[in-house]
Each structure stands twice: as structure tokens, then as C-alpha cells.
Amino acid sequence: MTAHTPETTGKTYDVTKTDEQWRAQLDPQEYHVLRQAGTERPFTGEYEDTTTEGVYACRGCGAELFTSAEKFASHCGWPSFFDPKDSDAVELLEDTSLGMRRVEVRCATCGSHLGHVFEGEGYATPTDQRYCINSISLTLRPTRA
């Protein structure tokens, strides 16, 4: 079984584009992650170690998803957040694509794949959750001083 993609679930999002439009907007690696539920290699993403203050938005549609206030150093190879900016900003779906149960995280505005959320790992965060998000699915908007 493969991971759910917006194109296979049939769900309608506020931002919808044809496959051709997505391919024109995104480079091949961005398309693979955001539209085909792929994953970037660990420790290669531009935001894994970033401590810049700001808002992390969906690279597909620009919706605000996470903030630097919820970002923490998990040392897992991808940017980690303990909570989204707004509970309605993301949607969570069961993912059994690797023969195990995981929870996929998607942008609630355009359905782009962001990563997965895990809980109970023992991180000292307020939610005991780790939103493990692909850097390539995000765009950081730094806070202006």
C-alpha cells in the first residue's frame, strides 16, 4: 500500500491545481515530496538546524503551518516541531505505507505531504509529539526585527 496523496484520496482542498500546474510550480524533488508523499534524505534539508525566528509556510500554497517557537532540536535528520501554528493548519491521516502504522501530516489548505507526527518518544516538549517535517515542503518567513 502506498501513502495517501491528494490525487488518490479525492479530497477537495481550498487550493487545488492540476498535476500539470503542480509540476510547473515545483521542481522534481519538491513534487516528489509534496505531491507523491516522498521523503528527503535525513540531514540534508535546509531547515533541520535553523534557529531563525519566523513562520514556516507550505511550499506548495504558502499557508502558515509552524513557527520557530514550536521548533526544537530532535537530531532526527529533519526539522521537528512539537505543535502546528494552528490546529486547523494541518491534517493528520493514517499511513500504513511501510507496513507499520504512522500518522502522515499534510497541509490542510492544499493537501501537500509534509511529513509524519510521532508521539511518546520522550522529548521534553509540552505535547510529547514530534512533527517530523521535510524541509523541502516548507518555506521560512523570518520575523522582521
pLDDT at 3: 43
Range of the domain at 89: 17-142
For the entire predicted model, the pTM comes to 0.88
pLDDT at 9: 55
Residues annotated catalytic, as ranges: 132
Burial (CB < 10 A; 0-12, 13-18, 19+), residue 112, is: buried
Q: What is the CATH number of the domain that holds 51?
A: 2.170.150.20
Print the SS3 string covering 45-75.
CCCCCCCCCEEEEECCCCCEEEEHHHEECCC
User: What is the mean pLDDT of each successive set of 10 residues along the chain, which is 145 residues long?
Assistant: 47 90 96 95 94 96 96 95 93 82 93 94 92 97 82
Is 2 part of a structural domain of the chain? no
How many domains does one find in the chain?
1
Is 112 part of a structural domain of the chain? yes
Is 3 part of a structural domain of the chain? no
pLDDT at 12: 82
Sign of CA dihedral 133, 68, 143, 47: negative
Is 6 part of a structural domain of the chain? no
**Is 93 within 8 Å of 4 (Cβ atoms)?**
yes
Phi-psi region of 144 (alpha: psi -120 to 50; beta: other; left: phi over 0): beta
